[in-house]
């Protein structure tokens, strides 16, 4: 990972960076357009390995809300569906 250095990376490179930084891979978050169903944004989440499971889940929950809120605010849309996918399951928040 690089400190606040924004540049495009492939998911493979992201995975390598997460491993090197000793982060724990979390869920992917996707936000779709309510009318077309097209994806507006997607974010992979990874958290520090020193966090307790309760803190990790709270942080992930807050990040999901922040991503959804920001996408809808910037695009001027109304939240209808945000999808959170982990390796184990997929959950849709409305």
Whole-number Cα distances in Å, 83 to 5, 20, 23, 55: 27, 27, 22, 21
**How many other CB atoms sit within 10 Å of the CB of residue 31?**
24
- Cα 60 versus chain centre, distance: 8
Tens digits of residue pLDDT in 2-26: 554 667 888 888 888 898 999 999 9
pLDDT along the chain (94 residues), means of 10: 67 88 91 86 92 95 92 83 64 48
Whole-number pLDDT of residue 93: 47
Contact indicator for 2, 18 with CB cutoff of 8 Å = no
Radius of gyration of the chain (CA): 14
What is the percentage of the chain residues whose pLDDT exceeds 70?
A: 80
Domain ranges of the chain: 11-93
């Amino acid at each position: 990972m690089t400190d606040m250095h924004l540049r495009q990376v492939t998911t493979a490179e992201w995975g390598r960076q997460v491993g090197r930084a000793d982060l724990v891979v979390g869920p992917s978050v996707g936000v779709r357009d309510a009318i077309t169903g097209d994806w507006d944004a997607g974010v992979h989440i990874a958290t520090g390995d020193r966090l307790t499971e309760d803190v990790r889940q709270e942080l992930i929950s807050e990040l999901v809300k922040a991503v959804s809120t920001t996408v809808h605010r910037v695009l001027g849309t109304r939240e209808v569906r945000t999808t959170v996918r982990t390796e184990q399951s997929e959950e849709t928040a409305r």
